[in-house]
Structure 1
Amino acid sequence: MDDEDDLRAWLVLLRTPGLGPAQLRERLAARAGDIRAVLEELRCAPGAGTAARAWLARPDAARLEADHAWLALPGHRLLRCTEADFPPLLEHIAQPPAALFVAGEAGLLLHPQVAVVGARGATAGGLAQARRFAAALGQAGFLVTSGMADGIDGAAHLAALEAGAATVAVVGTGPDRVYPRKHAALARRIGARGALVSEFPPGTPARADHFPRRNRLIAGLSLGTLVIEAGLKSGSLITARLAGEQGREVFALPGSVHNPLARGCHRLIRDGARLVEEPDEIVEALAPAARALGLELAARLDGAGARGGPAAQAPQDPEHRRLHEALGHDPATLDELVARTGLAPAALASMLLVLELEGRVEGLPGNRYQRLA
């Protein structure tokens, strides 16, 4: 009952007019993460706006029922900032979200990601480069993250999937909407083999002001952002700027001086972005950050940091020994490893990431893993 009451409180507050993620997080911190206490506090708050007071006094039952119905579907989840497997990279951005609606495997959001973004009206050459980089990054163990827009975004998602890798799409609509509609089949594939992520509740339509908010999440989830073809007023430059402000790497692919869609990339390079020509350059540049992320997750999720940081990854550690034995010599999926070890998916994901970076585990297509040593 408590879980259901908590979930209802979350859904009511996420739909409260005028209540942004910063204010909700601030109130949660003041109430030690008690979402129902926050709800009761706001219902009595004299400073709440008229629309907020009206909603809190009588929430729309049909909307809340629709939210519950969406979350009840297999693979759907409301990932809250109070949960241990909330992506830690999002805690370091301006205006971090309070919660995310996720369709697919929420644990993938803990994996090292590279944002691949660019023009909607990309050239054939730009689309080819998006496919080349996305496939190579996926095969190297990075998740390709983008916004499922037309052009570069869609090409990157599709190439990652066809390379046997998972991919993450952050959308500017509710998680049940597809924009553009032509990507309905792609959205289904991403939900089945990766994760669709939205800050907006089910039923939320596309709006122009939603996409900058989406872009901050794309940049925030990723260790680095690669821009492939962008005009001087492209939304991809917003994503790149946000990535830079968040202290993440920004990569740009140069192009012909005669291509208007290369001008945004050239400006990024002049402003300090890394010029890249090959996917391996990104993999090499982000490997230290990926390893640091794995160690941070290990410390956060399974107490490894308290046992001594990197040294805790040795086979003598009981949880890592269980994982080592569960892997065997045949490939196993994350779900199979959860069943064999009894460990939480988030904790397993962090351990597998560290072992993969140490060369002791190999990540295979289909979110499978195989022991190397």
Structure 2
Amino acid sequence: MQEISVQTAWLTLLRAPGLGSKGVRALLALADGDVCRALERARCDGRALGLAPRTRDGLRRPDSARLEADAEWLARPHQRLLCCTDADFPPQLERMPDPPAALFVVGNADLLLRPQLAVVGARHAGPVGRRHAHDFAAALAQRGLVITSGLAEGIDAAAHRAALEVGGGTVAVVGTGPDLVYPRCHAALREAIAEQGAIVSEFSPGVKARPGHFPRRNRIIAGLALGTLVVEAGLRSGSLITARLAAECGREVYALPGSIHNPLARGCHRLIRDGARLVEDVEEICASLVPLARAQGADLAARLREEVPVGPEEPVAALQRDPVYADLLEALGHDPVTLDTLRERSGLSPPALSSMLLRLELDGVLVSQSGGRYQRVS
């Protein structure tokens, strides 16, 4: 059998009809995480493995034109395929039901390792709901949280725009291929997010929007974030699906109350009755998320660097005594510096660097600025 590259093997598995994330991960498990071996096993033993005929055919005779187009898309700057076998694949996704096997990313993939809050709600939100989404997202982005949403009209768009306006990070998880604009009215917004944040999709380039794609998108939004804030939602809103999925992942669910006369408040009121946290100001969210964000950063750093997490006593002093953190602080200097420059100076891998910067930011040692720059506080 002709040898193929790791990238081609991944693209072939992701394009195979009927395989899906569960199927890809099951094949990887049989091959000890080796994607080329997984593809070869599926091609040789597909029937014994219970693969459907159309899946076996798609693996043996993939559409070469589509694979070439996928490879060309990935060859462009700031576009990549983030696989579950990569060191910087978001670890929080592994703690959710049916995690994706890979994600297509446009923009800054490092944002997926930072603590995120999902802000979701009605597409046809009223002016008050959009203002609430804007104000909450802006304030939380200024506090260092990445704002994650689905690039839909209404609440999603208001949250993304707010994060961009204050120079914060934002992640848009979409229900199409990563190269498509949906809805079309968000072409400019999508471009801005790709420049300052990240566009994320489980679907291969060129895949158009379908109704079944959006619940799958919603599960990734819920899985990436430490918590989900629902601003306005009707009783049949897809945002309630995101909130339910977040709860199933063990994540926090927040809901803004509204007028009893507003149909778009009823979904939030149902969530509150079902146990979601009623929130009225930003500090209520910060109070519950900052400890979770600190734990996420410590867990990621420990996993990547095989270090003992810093204890709760004197966290800043303990971090500064750690020789690796001390080297990073020296690399920071005292002037604003970009993430790329820090990588060059420190020699740290992107996931390790992101987790360490998060710890330092949460403990008040540094601040993140617009343009992806960092600066020491003192």
TM over 0.5: yes
Aligned counterpart, 1:110: 113
Of residues 253, 274, 280, the one that matches 1:271 is 274
Cα distance in 2, alignment partners of residues 29 and 271 from structure 1? 37
Match of 2:265 in 1: 262
- Give, in whole Å, the separation in 1 of the partners of 2:95 and 2:71: 30
Q: Distance in 2 between matches of 1:298 and 1:121?
A: 41
Flag as ranges the 4+ runs of structure 1 deviating above 6 A: none
Whether 1:243 aligns to 2:246 is: yes
Per the alignment, in what secondary structure is the counterpart of residue 43 of structure 1?
helix
Quote the Cα distance in structure 2 between the aligned partners of 1:325 and 1:4. Answer: 43
Instruction: Say whether the 8 Å CA contact 1:294–1:353 is kept in structure 2.
Output: yes
Aligned partner (choices 72, 75, 94) of residue 97 of structure 2: 94
Residue 58 of structure 2 is aligned to residue 77 of structure 1: no
Equivalent-residue separation in structure 2 for 1:316 and 1:266 (angstroms): 48
More moved, 18-27 vs 207-216: 18-27
Alpha-carbon deviation of 1:53? 2.1
Conserved in 1, the CA contact under 8 Å of 2:28 and 2:35? yes
**Preserved CA contact (<8 Å) 1:13 1:39:** yes
Match for 1:236: what amino acid?
A: S
Aligned to 1:157: 160
Q: What secondary structure does 1:370 align onto? A: strand
Structure 2 counterpart of 1:300: 303
CA contact (8 A) 2:95 2:249 kept: yes
CA distance in 2, matches of 1:331, 1:126: 36
Residue 48 of structure 1 deviates from its aligned partner by 2.4
Pairing partner for 1:121 from 115, 124, 129: 124
**TM-score when normalising by structure 2:** 0.95
Aligned residue number for residue 35 of structure 1? 35
Offset at 1:272?
0.8
Cα root mean square deviation, aligned = 1.6
Q: Which amino acid aligns with 1:109?
A: L
Q: Tell me how far apart the structure 2 counterparts of residues 90 and 110 of structure 1 sit (CA, whole Å).
A: 10
- Deviations 1:40-64 (Å, cap 9, x if unpaired)? 1110122322211222221111100
What CA distance in whole angstroms lies between the structure 2 residues aligned with 1:229 and 1:139?
22
Q: Are residues 4 and 130 of structure 1, via their aligned partners in 2, closer, same or farther at CA, if it must alter by over 3 Å? A: farther
In structure 1, the residue corresponding to 2:82 is in which secondary structure? strand
Which of 345, 349, 353 does residue 350 from structure 2 map onto?
Answer: 345
Residue of structure 2 in register with 1:314 after alignment: 319
TM-score between the two structures when normalised by the length of structure 1? 0.96
Q: CA deviation at 1:4?
A: 6.9
Superposed CA offset, 1:124-143 (max 9, x none): 11011111011001001000
Q: Structure 1 unaligned segments of length 5 or more: list them.
A: none
CA contact (8 A) 1:362 1:369 kept: yes
Q: Hey, what's the Cα distance between the residues in 2 that align with 1:294 and 1:98?
A: 23
**Contact 2:310 2:319 (C-alpha < 8 Å) held by counterparts:** no
**Which secondary structure does the structure 1 equivalent of 2:320 belong to?**
coil
Aligned equivalent of 2:372:
367
User: Contact conserved, 2:178 with 2:201, CA < 8 A, in 1?
Assistant: yes
- Could you tell me which residue of structure 1 aligns to residue 341 of structure 2? 336
Counterpart of 2:324 in structure 1: which amino acid?
Answer: E
Q: Using the TM superposition, give the Cα deviation of residue 313 of structure 1 relative to its aligned residue in structure 2, in angstroms.
A: 5.6
For 1:242 and 1:270, locate their aligned partners in 2 and report how far apart those are by CA, in whole Å. Answer: 17
Q: Which structure 2 residue ranges, 5 or more long, are not aligned?
A: none
Q: Counterpart in 1 of 2:12?
A: 12
| 1:51 alignment partner, one of 41, 49, 54 | 54
CA contact (8 A) 2:4 2:36 kept: no
Question: Whole-Å Cα distance in 1 between the matches of residues 85 and 361 of structure 2?
Answer: 28
SS at match of 1:304: coil
Counterparts of 1:57 and 1:93, CA distance in 2:
31
* 1:309 Cα offset (Å): 4.3
